[in-house]
Structure 1
Amino acid sequence: MKTSRRSFLQKTTRNGLAILSTGSLTANVIDQAKLNTDQAEDLYANTLPIKADHVVRSLPENMVWGYFGADVPPVYKVKDGDVVEIQTVNPSGVSRTNPEEFYTKNNLPLDQHAQEVITIMKNVKPEPSGIRGHMLTGPVYIDGAQPGDSMEIRILDMTFPAPFGVNSVWPGGGGIPDEVKTRETFVYRYDSKHKMASLKEGVEIPLKPFMGVMALSPPADLGRQSSIPPNFFGGNLDIKHLTKGSTLHLPVSVPGGLFTTGDGHGAQGNGEVSGVAIETAITLTVKFIVHKGKALKQPRAETSTHFIAVGLDKDLNKAMKMALSEACAFIKDELGFTFNEALSIASTAVDFEVSQVVDQTLGVHAMIPKSIFTKKKFDYWS
């Protein structure tokens, strides 16, 4: 396998926040980013790089702007069980007409990653019918996946190819749209030694990266779908617990599944109430596992400590009811309890959190703790 540019960066400093030891790019990154050795340390110190079977680079030909669809041709084909590195960008704050301006205005380096973003913004076209959404990488075709199966997506690693992220507020956006009078963009700069993002002196947000968007294709009869509202096939779930070491399960609707991802987040509070999180580029490494004949109605997720059930609806009350129904169904069907027992367990031990309230279709997720089931042993990969 040919080593990607970002794989080299990650091996050089054990992270995507990298300074090359040789070459003209070194001076550019050091001078413009003013990163010191401590800042270049790995966000996940003492972990070895994960060897990927494939690398999907963040090149214009590998990007799709804002939508999913069964007719979107895959940019890469992998096998069931393969480990895949997927490079993403997050051009929040960057305009199509003058993408360079964002970097110069905010004293950010016009390094190789920035040049990739600029090239993508100048060359990737929005969906012709007017569908709008996130800048995404994919889709990736997983050999063997067929409708009626489910896809297990193990999140093995996440690294930052750029040392900053962006949050914004704007009139008409977020959870209190009428109260926002002016648009403003905030650049959060990363301190990887302390695993923090700084808005300004005295405000440091712990970095907890995750992908806002991870999706399989919708069924062909739904046509192309915007990446903004989440749905049963995944998409813009914005569940902050889907970090390194977590697992997402999605229903397969089309041959190959067609996995697409983007909308990386450096950190997010439940609700994502300004309309966005700390929007950031992330290099995602995942393992795809096809579960034949394991049909799902809604996304499910798992961490080393919790099972996660998901509810989605334009009405937050209905999203809550769906999350509760899904949690009860999981406890009943997967863990072997009656429905009434499952509802009792949900009422006494399960936390229901609002994922986000800003993406048209709203999200609630149920956090089911594994620790309460003392007679059961749950094997987990991470």
Structure 2
Amino acid sequence: MKTSRRNFLHRTTQSGLAALSLGGITTNASQLMASPLPGNEPTGAPPLRIKPDHVVRSLPEYMVWGYFGADVPPVYKVKDGDVVEIQTVNPSGVSRTNPEEFYTKNNLPIDAHAQEVIAIMKNVKPEPSGIRGHMLTGPVYIEGAQPGDTLEIRILDLTFPAGFGVNSVWPGGGGIPDAVTTRETFVYRYDAKRKTASLKEGVDIPLKPFMGVMALSPPAETGRVSSIPPAFFGGNLDIKHLTKGTTLFLPVSVPGGLFTTGDGHGAQGNGEVSGVAIETALTLTTKFIVHKGKLLKQPRAETPTHFIAVGLDKDLNKAMKNALSEAVNFIKDELGFTFNEALSIASTGVDFEVSQVVDQTLGVHAMIPKAIFTKKKFDFWT
């Protein structure tokens, strides 16, 4: 049985395939690891990527340091349905006063990507009022997106422009802030063949890249806000399942939506308990689709196997309750069950995971498996 939710959550399978047609495929030898998901590329063949309609470079003039706002001018305009490559940096460990020092100290090359990071750190100014957060690329204006709509963000590809990532621990940070007595930064080096990140010999973390921050602008009356706490418009969600081949849905609050992204992660455990993940530069290739008149109250996501409902609050217990409410309402309203049936299904078949406990506003996400609804058919674009 097909459900009415398809008209909102998906275009047809045909449109999804069109985005991935052979006419839109090209090789990209300049990327270190152009296929971050192990086993996706043919044996012996060069990596493939999707040819975008637009490329937003990681240049100082395309960056915003740590905030979202309706008054932040867009750096690029695209159309509904366009495929856009958005390059990001993640200057974790790099100082503003001497950005070159990080690379020389850790025996890392000052290559073209490093030079971009250095230029960004020297030229991009923090928000004048003192708001602090991530180094982000954007915003991107999507033509046709208006308040009251929902923007579908299809994650077509995620690639690494640099061969390393950074994790840190520091006093007062992370999930056990009082237990940390010294600051230390760890450089994880990537193995392109094995798709792993190595802290030291004998510790290899599988690479599963995702964008920590994907956001639209908050409403104009909110003013500028930090990128650190996530909110209903997205932001620093840190949901590790938003990898290549998944979709994020966000409510539109301002004309054009104003999509901003950054805070790339090479890998992260649920909770992000040190305070950060493997912080890394990532290039996001995404397709924007506007759903007119379909307003969400909170972010929602979908993978080939799961629906994801999101709960946010400064109190983790309340975040859990919010995630449960979002999951139950989704099962009830979109899949056609009663409230009591939906709560029963959530209790017996849905996993609730802690997204992160370190971003001021804490996150819990509900993983709703499609496979348990055996009488329903769910089309998906991948």
TM-score calculated relative to the size of structure 2: 0.90
Alpha-carbon distance in 2 for matches of 1:162, 1:185: 17
2-structure distance, mates of 1:252, 1:12 = 33
2:221 corresponds to: 221
2:229 aligns to what SS in structure 1? coil
The aligned amino acid for 1:119 is A
Contact 1:351–1:367 (Cα < 8 Å) also in 2:
yes
Equivalence for 2:212: 212
Give the structure 2 partner of residue 165 of structure 1: 165
Residues 1:42 and 1:152: Cα distance change in structure 2 (over 3 Å): closer
Distance 1:105 1:113 in 2: 17
**Could you give the per-residue CA deviations for residues 223-282 of structure 1, whole angstroms, max 9, x where no partner exists?**
001000000000000000000000000000000000000000000000000000000000
Is the CA contact (8 Å cut-off) linking 2:300 and 2:310 kept in structure 1? yes
Match of 1:185 in 2: 185
- Tell me how far apart the structure 1 counterparts of residues 267 and 114 of structure 2 sit (CA, whole Å): 21
Between the aligned partners of 1:220 and 1:165, the Cα distance in structure 2 is 35
Work out whether 1:16 is the aligned partner of 2:31. yes
State the shift of 1:194 in Å: 0.5
Q: In the alignment, does 2:282 pair up with 1:267?
A: no
The separation in 1 between residues aligned to 2:28 and 2:291, in whole angstroms, is 36
Give the C-alpha shift of residue 11 in structure 1.
Answer: 3.3
Give distance in 2, aligned partners of 1:220 and 1:318: 27
Match of 2:320 in 1: 320
Q: Equivalent residue for 1:336? A: 336
Aligned length: 350
Structure 1 segment 61-76 matched on structure 2, within 5 A = 61-76=61-76
**Equivalent in the alignment of 1:128:** 128
Question: Percent identity between the aligned chains?
Answer: 86
Q: CA deviation at 1:41?
A: 7.7
> Which residue of structure 1 lines up, in the alignment, with residue 306 of structure 2?
306
The aligned residue for residue 349 of structure 1 is: 349
Which of 1 and 2 has higher RCO (CA within 8 Å, sep 6+)?
Answer: 2
Residues in 2 aligned to 1:178 and 1:153: alpha-carbon distance in whole angstroms: 38
AA aligned opposite 2:285? T
Counterpart amino acid of residue 75 in structure 2: V
- TM-score of the superposition, structure 1-length normalised? 0.90
Tell me, in whole angstroms, the C-alpha distance in 1 between the residues paired with 2:230 and 2:124.
23
Q: Does 1:117 align with 2:132?
A: no
The structural deviation recorded for 1:196 is 0.3
1:16 deviates by 1.9
Q: Name the SS of the counterpart of 2:49 in structure 1.
A: coil
Per the TM alignment, residue 42 of structure 1 is displaced from its structure 2 partner at its CA by 4.8
Q: Which residue of 2 aligns with 1:200?
A: 200
Question: Alignment partner of 1:318: what SS?
Answer: helix
Asked whether the 8 Å contact 1:41–1:192 carries over to 2, the reply is no
What runs of 5+ residues in structure 2 fail to find an aligned partner? Answer: 1-25
Amino acid at match of 1:329: N
- C-alpha contact (below 8 Å) 1:215/1:261 kept by paired residues: yes
Aligned to 2:251: 251
Deviation of residue 12 (structure 1)? 4.5
Unaligned segments of structure 1, at least 5 residues: 1-9, 18-39
Counterpart code for 1:339: F
Residues 335 and 42 of structure 1: CA distance in aligned 2, closer, same or farther (over 3 Å): closer
CA–CA distance in structure 2, aligned partners of residues 378 and 11 of structure 1? 31
